Structures are given as C-alpha cells and as structure tokens.
C-alpha cells in the first residue's frame, strides 16, 4: 500500500469520523487489505452527474461523509450562484439500502446552510423529483439513487432549477466547489432542521394530474380499459406511483408481479435491477405468459427506465430493446397528434447521437423537427429549455430505455412512459394489432433499422486508464475498414471534429465536448464508442439498416441485420 493511501487511512482514524466508521476501517486493515486500498486510493469523483459508487467506508466509497462533503460543495456553489436570494432545494431517494439515510444527510447539510429543503416523506420515482423542482420553483435538487446498478451501489444525482441534471457551466462549477472541500470539518452537518419540509400526497397528485394530461386518446382507453397489463417495479419506487398512474388513465386490469412488488435494496429476485436485462424481466414474462397479457412493463429502482415485453408476430413473448421502444413512442406521439388534429407547425422531438437514426426518419416524414444531442437526458432538458417559447416539445428519448414525454419534467420518466405505452398498446389493440406488429409496419414505412449494444468493464485501479488507452487508440488510428466495409466518416465529439476519411474534408461538430467516437461505414452502418462517466466501463453501440418490403420478409431481413452486426463486432475484436 502506498504511503499516500496509508496517510489517508490514518487521517480517517484520527479525524472526527464516527466510531462505527473507524471500526470498519480497522476491520478492513486486518482482514481485507486489498479492499481497504481500493476504498482509499482516490477520492470518489464528483462527476458532471454527481456521485455513484460502492457503499462503504473510505474516500472512494459512498457514505455519510462523501455525501456530506458533496452537499457542502453544492451548497457553496448555490450560495455563489444566488447571492442574496432565498434558496430552496428538493430531495428524493429510491429503494436502495441506506438511500433514506443519505437523503436525510443531504437534507440536513442543505438545511444547515440556510436553505429551505423539501424532502419527500418516503421513496419516490426520480422523475417526480424533477417535477417537484419545477413545481416548487426550487433552485436545485438531489436524488439519492444508483439507478439500475447492482445492490452494492448508491449515488447522488444533482439537478438545477429547470428540473434537469447539471449542465455547463454549473456542472464544472459544482465540481470545483466539491473538490475544494478538503475535510469533513468543512461541512455544516446540522443546525437547520426547522428548514426541512416533507413532501407527500399533494405532490403525488399534482404529478399524476400532469401525467394524465399527456394522454392523446382517452376515448380509446375507455373502450380498451380492460387491456391486460402486467407490471413489475423490480423492488423499486415504481410501485408508489405506476399503478396509480395506470388507474388515473383508466386501465382496470393491471397485474403486479408480487414477488418483485416490495421495495427492497437487496433486490432479492434479480442480479441486476435493470429492465434492459432479460433475466431481470423473466418473472414478469412468466406472469405475462400465464395470464395471456397484452403487455408487460418493468421499471428500474428509481423508475426512470422502462422495459417492455410484447407478443411478436408469431405469438411469442419478446422484450423490446430501447431503440424499438423509443421509435414506437416517438411515432405514436407524432402520428396520433396529427390524426387528432392537435399537431402544431413548431412541434419538435429530441433524440441522442447514439440512438437509432430511425427516429430522424420518422420525424422527417411526419414533418416534425428532430434534434440530436449528446447522450444523457440533461442534454435533452437543456435543449428543451433553449427552445422554450419558440418550439413545442413533444417527446425525447434515447436507447437506454428512457423517455421524456411532455415538457413539465426534465429527466427520463418511466411512470409516464408506462402510461403512454399502455395507451399505445390499447390503440393498436383497437386496430387489431400488437405493438410488435406496429413495429414491423413502421419498419416497412420508414426503413428497417436494427441496433445493439455491448459493454466492456475494466475493474480495479487501472480500469479507467485501460479504457482511456482504448479510446486514444481509436482516436489516433481509426480503422479504415470495419466488417470489410470502408469507414468513410469519423466523428470525434471530444475534439468536436467530423472528418471524411476518403476525401480528408473536415468540419466542426456543433455540440459540447464529449468523449465519444463514431465510425460510419460506406453502407451506412454506425459504430459508436463511449466510456461511461460513472463506471469503469466502455460502451459500443452498433446500428445497421436495410429496407423491408413486407411482413413476410421480416424474419429473413432481421437475421441479415443480426449477422451484419455480429460481423462488425467480430471484425473489431470485441467479442
């Protein structure tokens, strides 16, 4: 163990830390020295989205002290950003272990800094926190969650006054203030308890009323109210509001997966509480088959991501991927609004650079402006804020199983997504189709786009460096061919430069800097490489497309596209 780590451990043992923390450190010293080293070798980084990490003692872990120091730094920035103004903040949390304790710790530090603090009385979906910030006109907000990460993790997501996560310049300014907190003695831990107010049913009702206003075809729901819906909250916050939202929409035949209905930070029935994973959705699929349901939906612990199961064209239950769900939702909101006569000339939608290009095609053919922003809903929220009063935002989303419907929240929202997806299923059922059959029709109409994603994790102290080396290798020596097809375009969002690799022509990318590389091949295939900002992980996104003549050709063309992506992955030696 390095001297620097030993000194940091010694400072925790000698400092004003509680006895339980000191005992835990001593236990690691005697029994798990490698774990102790990993817990202290660096300070847990406050990134542009906040904190996320494994819970435990140490500077590289999520605990009372790292949460408190982050909150003090955030407080210091708020005081500079709003001099001589009254500052209020909203705080929420999900079902993770210690999440309530971390939320209360956050509330106490903000309150001790003189802020009015609105703390949800119990666990709530993350999107309701975004809604509450706007509803209460708060200057900022925090939700304690690690989203879909395994049970060992927790986190701290920071929001600004528009209800969106931090964007420049606030993100970097908050990071500087957090980094400036060198000791837990710099933190105001208590003294403002009278400034804390609890949020409960009244905010829930306001949020649910907002969700109901998003419905396009309430008359169709009335006719199809007995649509057979299976829902699983995967031991998370969705159970608090998703059933209520479906009831408010008018659905009367909702079946909750009981084994996964209780909020539980140990997530006892799953390995990863992520609706992107087929294993996580397996209990829901089993119940959907047993009941011969019309649709299955699952939400992650903080209810901002949604997974969808439907019957395919052969009557088999399948899980939609995030791109398919997004395309269905975008197409519905555009087509339904036009059919209902409520579309506006200045309607707009927002996608991201790693999401299917099919959304751009759907928008183009529906004569709706589609903007493409960097990955992450904070960028969607920022664009909506920029266009406020000039263009009419309808829907935004990305491939990561997230949708943001309507402009009264500014983060991905699985509660509203579940309600709208069920409305879509009811609408298609009234036409004698399933959502999967609608998806095939969209492929015929707009082109058959197919995407997949793989993640490579590099653990340990060297993980981040290995990923950085991988990205630098691609940046310095981009492949000339992928799957025997020439790479014609390189898009480097870190350098904000696009380049035609055939002609040498280059151009500026008009988006904020982001460590993303995209390779576009001669046949239109797109490969994106993007390191995670919160984990030692790099993601590769693959997108290919062709035409689909008719339903009878679907299976063969689907196989052809899968084979093409498998060829791309093999040629890049990523499997």
Per-residue pLDDT tens for 379-396? 999 999 999 999 999 999
Mean local confidence (pLDDT), 532-546: 86
Confidence class for position 534, pLDDT limits 50, 70, 90: low
For residue range 489-511, list pLDDT tens digits in order: 999 999 999 999 999 999 999 99
Residues above pLDDT 70, as percent of the chain: 99
Per-residue H/E/C for 158-211: EEECCCCECCCCHHHHHHHHHHCCCCHHHCCCCCCHHHEEEECHHHHHHHHHHH
pLDDT at 34 over 90: yes
CB–CB of 529/474 below 8 Å? yes
Q: What mean pLDDT comes out for the span 129-142?
A: 98
Distance CA 528, CA 542 (A): 7
Beta-bridge partner residues of 52: 155
Residue 414 is predicted with a pLDDT of: 98
pLDDT of amino acid 458: 83
Question: Would you place residue 233 in the very low, low, confident or very high pLDDT band (cuts 50, 70, 90)?
Answer: very high
Query: 152 in helix, strand or coil?
Result: coil
Distances (CA, A) of 216 to 71, 138, 437: 41, 30, 21
Handedness of CA 412, 415, 420, 424 (dihedral sign): positive
Q: Is the pLDDT of residue 166 over 90?
A: yes
Average pLDDT for 156-163: 98
Radius of gyration of the chain (CA): 24
Looking at residue 466, its pLDDT comes to 87
Which is nearest to 567 in space by CA: 446, 485, 454?
A: 485
**Beta carbons of 50 and 92 less than 8 angstroms apart:** no
- Give, as one character, the DSSP assignment of residue 45: P
Taken in order of first residue, the domains within the chain and their CATH numbers are 1-38 (no CATH), 42-199 (3.40.120.10), 207-215+226-446 (3.40.120.10), 449-571 (3.30.310)
Residue 536: pLDDT over 90? no
Please indicate, yes or no, whether the overall pTM of this predicted structure exceeds 0.85. Answer: yes
Burial profile 329-363: b = 16 or more Cβ within 10 angstroms, e = fewer: bbbbbbbbbeeeeebeeebbbbbbbbbbbbbbbbb
Gap between the Cα atoms of 572 and 575, Å rounded: 8
The two counts, helices (H) then strands (E), for the chain are 18, 23
- Average pLDDT on 391-407 reads 96
Give the whole-angstrom CA distance, residue 226 versus residue 31.
57
List, in sequence order, the alpha helices (H) in 404-462.
Answer: 414-430, 435-446
Which residues sit opposite 62 in a β-bridge?
A: 55
Q: Is the pLDDT of residue 535 over 80?
A: no
pLDDT at 460: 67
Terminal Cα-to-Cα distance of the chain (whole angstroms): 35
Q: Which two tokens stand for residue 234?
A: 């995967």
Q: Compute φ and ψ for 452, nearest 5 degrees.
A: -150, 170
DSSP 293: -
What pLDDT score does 465 carry? 84
Length of the chain equals 575
Q: What percent of the chain has pLDDT over 90?
A: 94
Whether the predicted pLDDT of 461 surpasses 80: no
With a CB cutoff of 8 Å and minimum separation 6, the contacts of 407 are 384, 388, 393
Q: Is the dihedral of CA 446, 482, 375, 513 positive or negative?
A: negative
Instruction: Copy the structure tokens of residue 256.
Output: 């909750």
Count CB-CB contacts under 10 A for residue 82.
14
Other Cβ atoms closer than 10 A to 142: 29
pLDDT at residue 532 in the model? 79
Catalogue the active-site residues: 147
Helix axis angle, 3-14 to 19-31, nearest 10°: 150
> Residues 404-418: what's their mean pLDDT?
97
């Amino acid at each position: 163990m390095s001297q620097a780590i030993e000194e940091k451990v010694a400072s925790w043992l000698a400092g004003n830390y509680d006895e339980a923390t000191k005992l835990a450190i001593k236990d690691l010293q005697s029994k798990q020295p490698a774990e102790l080293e990993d817990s202290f070798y660096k300070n847990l980084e406050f990134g542009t989205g906040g904190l996320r990490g494994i819970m435990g003692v140490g500077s590289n872990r999520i605990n009372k002290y790292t949460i408190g120091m982050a909150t003090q730094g955030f407080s210091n920035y708020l005081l500079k950003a709003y001099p001589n103004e009254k500052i209020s903040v909203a705080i929420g949390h999900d079902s993770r272990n210690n999440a309530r304790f971390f939320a209360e710790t956050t509330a106490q530090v903000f309150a001790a800094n003189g802020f009015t603090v609105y703390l949800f009385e119990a666990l709530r979906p993350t999107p309701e926190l975004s809604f509450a910030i706007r509803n209460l006109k708060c200057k900022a907000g925090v939700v304690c969650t690690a989203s879909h990460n395994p049970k060992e993790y927790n986190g701290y997501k920071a929001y600004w006054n528009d209800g969106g996560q931090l964007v420049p310049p606030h993100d970097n300014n908050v990071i500087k203030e957090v980094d400036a907190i060198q000791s837990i003695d710099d933190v105001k831990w208590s003294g403002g308890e009278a400034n804390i107010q609890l949020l409960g049913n009244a905010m829930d009702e306001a949020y649910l009323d907002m969700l109901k206003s998003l419905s396009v075809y309430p008359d169709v729901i009335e006719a199809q109210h007995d649509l057979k819906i299976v829902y699983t909250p995967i031991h998370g916050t969705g159970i608090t509001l998703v059933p209520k939202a479906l009831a408010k929409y008018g659905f009367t035949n909702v079946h909750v997966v009981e084994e996964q209905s209780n909020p539980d930070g140990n997530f006892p029935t799953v390995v990863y509480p992520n609706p992107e994973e087929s294993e996580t959705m397996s209990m829901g699929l089993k119940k959907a088959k047993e009941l011969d349901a019309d649709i299955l939906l699952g939400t992650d612990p903080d209810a901002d991501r949604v997974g969808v199961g439907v019957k395919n064209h052969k009557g088999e239950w399948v899980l939609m991927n995030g791109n398919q769900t997004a395309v269905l939702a975008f197409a519905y909101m555009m087509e339904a609004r036009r059919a209902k006569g409520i579309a506006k000339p200045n309607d707009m939608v927002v996608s991201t650079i790693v999401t299917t290009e099919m959304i751009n095609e759907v928008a183009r053919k529906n004569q709706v402006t589609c903007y493409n922003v960097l990955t992450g809903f904070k960028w969607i929220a920022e664009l909506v804020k920029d266009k406020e009063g000039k263009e009419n935002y309808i829907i935004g989303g990305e491939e990561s199983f997230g949708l943001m419907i309507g402009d009264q929240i500014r983060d991905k929202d699985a509660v509203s997504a579940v309600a709208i997806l069920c409305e879509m299923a009811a609408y298609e059922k009234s036409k004698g189709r399933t959502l999967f059959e609608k998806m095939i029709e969209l492929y015929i109409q707009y082109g058959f786009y197919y995407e997949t994603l793989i993640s490579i994790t590099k653990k340990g102290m060297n993980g981040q460096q290995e990923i950085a080396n991988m990205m630098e290798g691609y940046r310095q020596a981009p492949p000339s061919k992928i799957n025997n097809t020439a790479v014609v375009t390189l898009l480097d969002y870190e350098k904000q430069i696009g380049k035609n690799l055939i002609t040498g022509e280059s151009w500026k990318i008009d988006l904020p800097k982001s460590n993303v590389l995209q390779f576009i091949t001669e046949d239109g295939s797109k490969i994106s490489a993007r390191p995670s900002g919160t984990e030692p992980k790099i993601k590769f996104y693959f997108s290919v497309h062709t035409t689909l003549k008719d339903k009878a050709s679907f299976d063969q063309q689907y196989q052809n596209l899968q084979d093409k992506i498998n060829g791309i992955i093999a040629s890049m030696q990523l499997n």
